[in-house]
Structures are given as C-alpha cells and as structure tokens.
A and B are shown apart, each in its own frame.
Chain A
Amino acid sequence: MDNLEVLVFMASIYCACRLIYLWYKRIIFTWLSEKDNGIKLTLALLPAAAFAIILYTLKVLASFDVVNDPYYILFYIFLGLSWVFVNLLLVFIFFDLSWIDDVLGNRNTAALIAITGAFLGLTIIYSGANVGDGPGWWCVIYAAGLGLFAWILVNLVLNWGSRAFERITVNRDIHCGIRVGAFLLASGLILGRASAGDWTSFSMTVIEFLVGWPVLPLTLVAILVERYYISKEKDWERARQNHWFGSIYWAVLYLLIAVFSIVLYPLPENPIYGIISLPFTGV
C-alpha cells in the first residue's frame, strides 16, 4: 500500500465505524413498540448483508491482486461500507427517503422496503465496480460513481413520471414501496454490472458502462406500472382491492429483468465470470 492508500484506508475505517455506530445507536435507542421490532431487525441486518455481498465479490470476482490479500480485502470492505452509508445521505437529498425520519421516526413500512432496496442497490453498485482487474482504489470509485450517477438519474426519472417517493413517504403506500424497492435494487444490479470490468482508461470505462442500457427500458416499464396503479387509486372502489399480488409480481419481474440483463453481457477475459454465469446460460 502506498501513502495515499494508507490515508484512504484510515479515513474509510473511521468513516465506516462511526456511521455504523450511529446506525445501530439510533436503531437501539429509538422508541418503537414491540410490534415494530421487524423494522429494527431489518435495519439491523442491512449492514451485515452489505458486508457479505462486498466480501463475496472481493473474494471471488475482484482484481487478482486483491482476492488473496487480506489487507486489500479489508481496505475495500471499509471503503464500501463508507460508500453505502454516505450515499444514504444522497438517497435522502434526491429521493426524500430517510431511514431516520420515515422508517424509525414514522414507522413507515413502505419506506422501510424502499430503503432496503436502496441500501442493497448501493451495495451492489459498489460491489460491481470491484469486479475485474484494475490499478487502484480510484478506478473502483470512478466506476461506482458512474453507476451511482446513473442510478440516481433513473430513479429521479421514475419519480418524475410517477411521484413514487411522495407516495411512499406521505401516502405510506406499501404496495408502491414493494415495487419501488425492487426497482431500486434491480437498477442497482444492472448498473453494478455496468460498472464492472477490467480497467483500461477513463473513456473506455464510460463506453463499457453502456452495457447498462437495459436500465432504461426497465425505468420506462416501472413508470408505466406506477401510472397504472395511480389511475387505479383514483377509483376509490377499486382502490380497496388488494394490490399485494400484483406488486410482488412486478417486483419479481424487475429483479428477473435485472438478472437477465447481467447474464446477457458476461464479462470477458476473467474465467471466473464463466463459472458464475454457467448455471444461467449453460455455456
């Protein structure tokens, strides 16, 4: 590790530990009734899930000089956890989704599902950026930054077309929470794949990022789905119908589209990618 890497490592350790401490402190001390324990449990498990996803990626799919180096694995784990927690602030700024206010403060289950999707989506974008060989941590941040930028953009487009985030936080529409939570995760999967790959140059990273194009039709589908449900909500009699089945159906479909679009473009060169895609493609 060079001096800059040591500095980034130290900053990441401080940032990750501090933010994780604040995360659990709020979960533990916020006064919720026993029936809201599920909220606390879900939030408590999210950092563990992020840790597991990042660790798996680093051990199996990361650069050849990282997979067997425990210091670099630790380095990228702390960097990744800092990345996820800091970017939750962007989720609040751009999507008006707050794990503190909506989930813990207002006990909003719809927001819990959306925040879960956003948390995992952010984790997968960062993990995707770790896939492939590269010269340093900065190319991971660059590729993940591209993914993050596109992820925020497509979700803002979704909100522009459907006011989805207002329906989650103000209307507490749990069905909308399921669909949008799945979209946040699915778009994270597609853009995580787009951020993956061996490093060649800044401009080539942008060109290779274009394999994330399936996120555009997925966004269009999600807008149409949300507008369909908005039109149903205006009909008060029909609004009494149960949307659980339909919402779960759409959520699963978004995730299947995301998985399909990942399999559609297997990563070249590294033989491990072939092993990963073998169960899906049979090739």
Chain B
Amino acid sequence: MRNNLETYRIWAPDDALWTQWAKPVLFARQPSITNHGLSLPDIEWLDYADSRTMIIVDLPGSKGVYEALALARLGYRPVPLYNGVGAQYSKTIVNVNDIITALFVGADELTKHTLRTDAPPVFMLDSNRMAGGGKQPGAYDNRWCVFPQDMPSAAYLIKAGINRVIVRSETIQNDLAHILCRYQKESLSIYHSLGKETKLISGVKPSNFMSLAYRFKVIFGLTRNATGGFGGWVPDPTQTTYRGYHRYG
C-alpha cells in the first residue's frame, strides 16, 4: 500500500491547477481497513466535464469521495478539502474513518484516469463537518467549517474560465453559503443538484457575510489541531490532565 505522502500526491499532484487548495489533513494517518471495495455511483445530473463548470460535492462521509471519483471518470479533478483530523482509537464528534479509507482506496481508482492539469475541479466536503451539536467534554472535537479562504476566489475562477458552479448536496450549509454568495456577487451562476437534476438557485445572504470577524467567531467555537486542521480533546472538568487544548491563535 502507498504511504501517506504518495497517496496525497495522487489526490493533489504538484502540477495540477487546483492543488493549492487541497488539504492534507486526512492523509496524516493510514486507514485501519484497506481492502474496502469501491462502488461508485452513476452521475445522472451531469453528462460530461464542462471546463466552465466547477463542482462542490458536499455529501456525508465517504459518499462525497465516491461521487468525486465518479466525476473524475468524466474528467473532473477531485480536490479534497476535508479539514477535520481523525483519532484512531477514540470517540470523535465527526466520524472521518470512512472518508480516510475511501481516500486511500480511491487513490487507485484515481490513477486510472488521465486528468488534465487544468481539468475543472470538484471540491470535496463532508456535510457532517458540523454535526454532533457542540463541544462534548472528554470527546475528540474534530468539527470543522469551510471558509471563503479555503476555496478559490470568484476572480480566480473567472480567470480560469469558470462561470458556473454546481453544488451537489442535500442542503446548502451556512458556511458554504458565505462562499456561494461571494461567487454570485461576481456574477457566477450557482446551481444546486440533489442527485437527479440541477436547478439555478439564488443565494440568501448569510449572517456576518463579508464580516472581518466572521472567521474568528466560528473558529473560536472549534478546536484546532497542532498539526493543521481541526481536532483536539475537549477538556473534561472532572479530569486535571492537560491534553493540549488550543482554540485560537
């Protein structure tokens, strides 16, 4: 089996246009299960790779990886944006183990496709990223959010020839709405796909839109990991042992 860096390089090759947005967080450790089979879905809502269309896949767990790999068959470049760290032997608020397995197993599938370095991107998110309520004392809090800084700007997309964005998700989450509203402001068309067809949507401005303090406020409620991304122990008031709880900086 490939090591972590080799696997990451398959998902984020140095020469690909969109690699600068890829997050290495879930490639930090190898999965415990590696003989996992891949069953990729049929893409019914898109016929071919359109160089003017960017896709955001925001589906729960490994479904997002499978959908992105199915889109890679059409010629799209999958870009993992997962930013929540996994903890192998502990209870985590967001379960990322199946995503890690899918990324490592899916690397083989990805090598089968010859993707252009400037192939249109499909950004991969986990719709469960903020699931689980809030901080639970004693648990490993690896909830995370996607911010406008984590994805290409509207200006960059327009320069790259992209004028349409399709969001493949069940709902549009608030953090993603901050990004989509910025795109809409710059006249990019936003479409939403539930899996069968796509429809044009008009964005609703989220609260704190374009606010300088928005990111700080959100991150203040999450737990950073020292190696990048989000993930850390929430201190249990009944325990006195300090386990590296860093909220912001």
The interface bits of chain B over 137-162 (1 if a CB of A lies within 8 angstroms of the residue's CB, else 0) are 00000000001111001011011000
The one of B21, B147, B248 in contact with A92, judged by C-beta atoms closer than 8 angstroms, is: B248
Q: Given contacts A95-B212, A159-B212, is CB(A100)–CB(B224) below 8 Å?
A: yes
Q: Given contacts A25-B226, A105-B229, A170-B153, is CB(A96)–CB(B28) below 8 Å?
A: no
The one of A35, A92, A102 in contact with B216, judged by C-beta atoms closer than 8 angstroms, is: A92
Asked if A172 is at the interface of the complex by the 8 Å CB criterion, the answer is: yes
Q: Which residues of B contact A98 (CB under 8 A)?
A: 215, 249
The contact sample of 12 A-B pairs, CB cut-off 8 A, is A22-B246, A22-B249, A33-B14, A89-B248, A94-B213, A98-B215, A105-B228, A105-B229, A169-B149, A170-B148, A170-B153, A170-B182
Q: Which residues of B contact A89 (CB under 8 A)?
A: 248-249
Task: Name 7 extra pairs, CB < 8 A, besides A30-B227, A101-B219, A171-B153.
Answer: A31-B28, A35-B14, A92-B248, A99-B249, A100-B249, A105-B228, A106-B20
Asked if B80 is at the interface of the complex by the 8 Å CB criterion, the answer is: no
The interface bits of chain A over 1-44 (1 if a CB of B lies within 8 angstroms of the residue's CB, else 0) are 00000000000000000000010011001110101000000000
Which residues of A pack against B, CB within 8 Å? 22, 25-26, 29-31, 33, 35, 88-89, 92-96, 98-102, 104-108, 159, 165-166, 169-172, 233, 236, 239
Contact yes or no, B150 A106, CB < 8 A: yes
Asked if B24 is at the interface of the complex by the 8 Å CB criterion, the answer is: yes
Contact yes or no, A88 B153, CB < 8 A: no
Count the B residues whose beta carbon is within 8 Å of the partner chain — how many? Answer: 32
The one of B20, B23, B210, B216 in contact with A93, judged by C-beta atoms closer than 8 angstroms, is: B216
Q: Which residue of A lies closest to B28 (CB)?
A: A31
Smallest CB–CB gap between B108 and chain A, Å? 22
Q: Which residue of A lies closest to B148 (CB)?
A: A170
How far, in whole Å, are A105 and B230 apart by their CA atoms in the complex? Answer: 11
The interface bits of chain B over 235-249 (1 if a CB of A lies within 8 angstroms of the residue's CB, else 0) are 000000000001011
Q: Which residues of A contact B149 (CB under 8 A)?
A: 101-102, 106, 108, 169-170
Q: Which residues of B contact A35 (CB under 8 A)?
A: 14
Q: Which residues of B contact A233 (CB under 8 A)?
A: 155
Contact yes or no, B20 A107, CB < 8 A: yes
Q: Which residue of B lies closest to A107 (CB)?
A: B20
The one of B150, B228, B248 in contact with A31, judged by C-beta atoms closer than 8 angstroms, is: B228
Q: Which residues of B contact A159 (CB under 8 A)?
A: 212
